[in-house]
Amino acid sequence: MRLFSLQDQVAMVTGCNKGLGQGMAVALAEAGADIVGVSRRPAQETRQQVEALGRRFYAVEAELGNDSPNDIVHQAVTQAGKLDILVNNAGTIRRAPAIEFTEEDWDAVIDINLKAAFFLSQQVAKHLIEREAPGKIVNIASLLSFQGGIRVPSYTASKSGILGLTRLMANEWAAHDINVNAIAPGYMATDNTQALRDDPQRHDEILGRIPAGRWGTPEDLAGAVIFLCSDAAHYVHGHTLAVDGGWLAR
On whether the 2-249 domain is CATH 3.40.50.720, my answer is yes
DSSP symbols for 184-241: EE-SBSSGGGHHHHHSHHHHHHHHHH-TTSS-B-GGGGHHHHHHHHSGGGTT--S-EE
Residues 140 and 182 sit within 8 Å (Cβ to Cβ): yes
- Digit-coded pLDDT (tens) for 198-218: 999 989 999 999 999 999 999
pTM of the model: 0.96
Tens place of pLDDT per residue across the chain (250 aa): 689 999 999 999 999 999 999 999 999 999 999 999 999 999 999 999 999 999 999 999 999 999 999 999 999 999 999 999 999 999 999 999 999 999 999 999 999 999 999 999 999 999 999 999 999 999 999 999 999 999 999 999 999 999 999 999 999 999 999 999 999 999 999 887 888 899 999 899 999 999 999 999 999 999 999 999 999 999 999 999 999 999 999 9
Residue 80's contacts (CB-CB under 8 Å, 6 or more residues apart) are 10, 34, 36, 56, 58
Assess whether 155 carries a catalytic annotation: yes
Task: Spell out the domain ranges in the chain.
Answer: 2-249
| Active-site residue, from 58, 155, 187, 235 | 155
